[in-house]
Amino acid sequence: ILNVEQSPQSLHVQEGDSTNFTCSFPSSNFYALHWYRWETAKSPEALFVMTLNGDEKKKGRISATLNTKEGYSYLYIKGSQPEDSATYLCAFGRSSNTGKLIFGQGTTLQVKP
Amino acid sequence: SQTIHQWPATLVQPVGSPLSLECTVEGTSNPNLYWYRQAAGRGLQLLFYSVGIGQISSEVPQNLSASRPQDRQFILSSKKLLLSDSGFYLCAWRQGAGYTFGSGTRLTVV
C-alpha cells in the first residue's frame, strides 16, 4: 500500500507568520510530486510539480523543496495572509504513462487577520 | 482554450437510486482522464482513470463504474447508490506533468 502522509493536519497562524508543511511519500519508483491549493467550493489549483531530487520551486510567497531519496517535500509560505487560508494537498506520482496520483489528506491552513 | 466541465455541482440522491456524473474537456484531444473522490475525513482517492475511448481502469473495488464513450467525455455511474457513496467527486485531466481539476460534485446519498 502506497501512503502519502502530510503534517500537520491543520494549522492556525496569525497574519504575517511564516509557516511550513511536510509531505512524506515512498522513495522508490518516484516520478513526480505535486502540490495543490484547494479552497472550499473550488477546484484544486496546481502550485508546483517537481520531478528532480533537490528541486526548489517558488511562486510568490510560496516555495517548495523536494528530497526524493528520503521521500519528503516541504511547502513554505512566507508572511501568511488571510487569502492563503486553504487546504494544501500533496500528491505522489509513480508512473508517467498512467499519470495516476496518490494524494495525502492535506494540511488545512487558517490565517487569522 | 483548454477547459474542463463537470456537472452537476451538488446532488442529493436516495439510497438505491442510479447515478450519472459527467465530465467533458475542451481544447485538447486524447487526454488522460481521472475520477477522484474525497469521502468525509479522508483524502482524495483515485477511483478510475482512462487513457482513451473505451479504456477504463478501476483502482478500487466499489459500487461505481466509469465509461468513456467519446474522446473528451468521462462518465461516472452507479446502478444503485449506497450511503457510503456520499462524498465529493472530482474529474481531472492530465496536461503534461500537471493536472487540471473540474469544479467537483458534492453527492449526498440519503
Predicted confidence (pLDDT) per residue in B72-102, tens digit = 999 999 999 999 999 999 999 987 778 899 9
A43 and B CB contact within 8 Å = yes
Whether A103 has its CB under 8 Å from any CB of chain B: the answer is yes
Chain A positions in Cβ-Cβ contact with residue B36 (cut-off 8 Å): 103
pLDDT single digits (tens) A14-66: 999 999 999 999 988 888 999 999 998 788 999 999 999 999 999 999 999 99
Is residue A100 within 8 angstroms of chain B, CB to CB? yes
**Chain A nearest CA to B91, separation (Å):** 10
CB pairs under 8 A between A and B: 48
* Residue/partner pairs of B41-50 with CB below 8 Å, 24 or more apart: B42/A105, B43/A4, B43/A89, B43/A103, B43/A104, B43/A105, B43/A106, B44/A89, B44/A91, B44/A103, B44/B90, B45/A103, B46/A100, B46/A101, B46/A102, B47/B76, B48/B76, B49/A98, B49/A99, B49/A100, B50/B74
